[in-house]
Amino acid sequence: MKNIGIWMDREKAHIIRLENKEEKLETIFSEMEFFNRKGTSGPRVKSGATQDVTHERTYLEREKAQLKSYFKKLADAIGDADSIALFGPADTNEKFKKELLEHHKGLAEKVKAVTKADSMTENQTKALVRDFFGQKK
């Protein structure tokens, strides 16, 4: 039985595979850009405000496309799983579960838990996944 635990955030995902008392760690990076709005600090001639132009819709669409690409890489990497647990500090794991439900129904049925977990070291992540699936090292 191949159990897979994923600790993920918007930057990277640690995939821990547990099979036949062996564990393997694989890290997939999201390659997402983190957008920081930068002001032009233009003159305040007419309105009294800076001349900042924010193309928020463009940023959001690009972020959405990058997140979708990241989730596709993750889904391809865990296609052989028998059981999946998702962990992470924010809502990225919940968004991934939603993506699985919409586009990878077979994998979505294998998700046993979506749990909040703070940032942790690789060893702590491995221990979390082992504990979740009840396997001893």
Render each residue's pLDDT in the chain as its tens digit; 137 residues: 899 999 999 999 999 999 988 899 999 999 887 665 555 555 555 555 555 555 778 888 888 899 999 999 999 999 999 999 999 998 999 999 999 999 999 999 999 999 999 989 999 999 999 999 987 66
Report which DSSP code applies to 80.
T
Round to the nearest angstrom and report the end-to-end CA distance of the chain. Answer: 16
Q: Which residues, 6+ apart, have CB-to-CB distance to 34 below 8 Å?
A: none
DSSP string for residues in 3-52: EEEEEE-SSEEEEEEEETTEEEEEEEE---------------SSSSS---
Q: Return the number of other C-beta atoms located less than 10 Å from residue 130's C-beta.
A: 17
How many whole angstroms separate alpha carbon 83 and alpha carbon 81? Answer: 6
Q: What is the pTM of this model?
A: 0.80
In CATH, what class is 3-30+56-133?
Answer: alpha beta
Ordered by start, the domain boundaries in the chain are 3-30+56-133
